[in-house]
Amino acid sequence: MRIPPGDVRYENLVRGNNFRFVGRPDEIRVASTTDQVVRAVDDAVRGGRRVAVRSGGHCFENFTAAPEVRTLVDLSGLDEVGFDAGRKAFVVEPGATLGQVYKALCAGWGVTVPGGGCPEVGAGGHIAGGGYGPLSRRYGAVVDHLYGVEVVVVGKDGRARAVVATREAGDPHRELWWAHTGGGGGNFGVVTKYWLRSPGDKAVLPAMPRNMVQHVVFWDWGQFTEEKLAGLVRNFGVWHERHSAPGAAETGLYGVLEVKHQAGGVVMLSVQADADLPGVGAMVDAFVAAVSEGLTPVFELRKTVPWLHKMTWPGTGEPGDVLTRRYKIKAGYLRRAFTVEQCKALWRNLTGPNGAQGSVLLIGYGGQANAVAPHETAIANRDVVMKAVYQSVWSEEQEDAANLAWVRELYRDVYAATGGVPVPNEVNDGSYINYADADLADPAWNTSGVSAQRLYYKDNYPRLQRIKAKYDPHNVFRHALSIEPG
């Protein structure tokens, strides 16, 4: 289906999740089959139109709304979730949101994938970038369960075609499968189907929890000194240093620490866990006590709720106001707790005169996600224990400059010792491509001498370049952070 400007549907489909970016493509091609995707890509290439693909979920940057994009392929109609008996694998189409995936897998088979906690994220980009969430410490990244992909690629002849690639050792397209185990969306082609099956002979995915324990703690900002905030942040980090080995009992816990700007008034700790884990209550108690040592909460609550309860998957996962949603998000991996100097940088920026709508999140990782060698998937970050997120979410266009400046300066300050970005060392380990940040490719904000692609893919980047050269030799699929052909 072709939707040009002037069509009554165009304005309703041209906007993505981040309202900072609104593209003006010559056409939006809404596809609901693989053949329709092939035709849309073929038409764009033959017409000399730059193409971008959107699965309908989140995209932090303007990859699908850049001015040079003339054909936008919308995959929101490709949203089926099912089971392929021939491949003994579950099938997820890219336009399905994570909420749809979890509900379908729950209702049909009682299984799940260790994906993200925002139900409106699209499976398309989420899986290609690696995928993680509340069950990843226990079950690994989503791509650790990826059996195969169907991808529309453009060959040397300039024609689009669909290719199926699996992890089977004898598959001639196995490298294309590998590229989609964390190589990011929009780099190699258009994914039209994922097959998911855990490693081993059985056609299974992890069993979904019956119930989840959810524990939240809030502290008033007024009780924090610089020392107390540093203590809280470092306690969270040290706990994860000590309890993130694959197979450790505590990998059943998923913790998130959110430190809002001082103007936001609160600091929050949350932890989720499968309610049927042995000793789960005591583990949650020990975690909360270790992290919050010396602090007095203003509110604390523990509930046990069904796996798909709204308290487990709160809201829609859409940041900001639904009318004027604008945001900037930056990120980094952590091998260990923030340094003393990094904690000082957090304090400076979270208590300064700007940044009232900003926050920093530390998110538990590691565990089974660290049980896979860096070369086995495109995710090279396989010895990290946390992800750090730096964000500002605001309402109006006139607030753009101030909010962008604040989050950029915060990030540069935290990573001042390594050129303003998380260059891999004993503490930092690059960043996560699904938290795409075009600043990493901007020498004004990245003075490290390490490219954005190396920060995202580390030593796996040359291999990704070779795969790019083979399956996208004309560099049809590209954006501000895309993989360059090798």
Domain boundaries, the chain: 1-208, 211-458
Provide the percentage of residues in the chain whose pLDDT is more than 90.
Answer: 90
**pLDDT digit string (tens) for 151-203?**
999 999 999 999 999 999 999 999 999 999 999 999 999 999 999 999 986 77
Closest C-alpha among 25, 21, 119 to residue 61: 21
- The pLDDT, as a whole number, for residue 29 is 97
- The pLDDT, as a whole number, for residue 122 is 92
**pLDDT digit string (tens) for 221-230?**
999 999 999 9
The SS3 assignment for 274 reads strand
Residue carrying the six token digits 């470092």: 234
- The pLDDT, as a whole number, for residue 316 is 47
pLDDT band at 59 (very low <50, low <70, confident <90, very high): confident
Domain 211-458: CATH class, spelled out: alpha beta
Domain 1-208: CATH class, spelled out: alpha beta
Average confidence (pLDDT) over 424-449:
98
Average confidence (pLDDT) over 270-297:
97
d(CA 483, CA 486): 9
**pLDDT digit string (tens) for 126-161?**
999 999 999 999 999 999 999 999 999 999 999 999
d(CA 88, CA 111): 14
- The pLDDT, as a whole number, for residue 315 is 46
HSE-CB of 221 using CA atoms within 13 angstroms: 14
The SS3 assignment for 130 reads coil
Asked, colleague to colleague, whether 1-208 and 211-458 share their fold, the answer is no
Q: Is 317 left (phi over 0), alpha (psi -120 to 50) or beta?
A: left
Query: Looking at the predicted structure, is the pLDDT value of residue 120 above 90?
Result: no
Closest C-alpha among 364, 339, 386, 343 to residue 230: 343
d(CA 37, CA 28): 12
Containing 380, the helix (H) or strand (E) segment is none
User: Which of 323-332, 367-376, 464-473 is predicted with the least confidence, judged by mean pLDDT?
Assistant: 323-332
Distance of CA 125 to the CA centre of its chain: 8
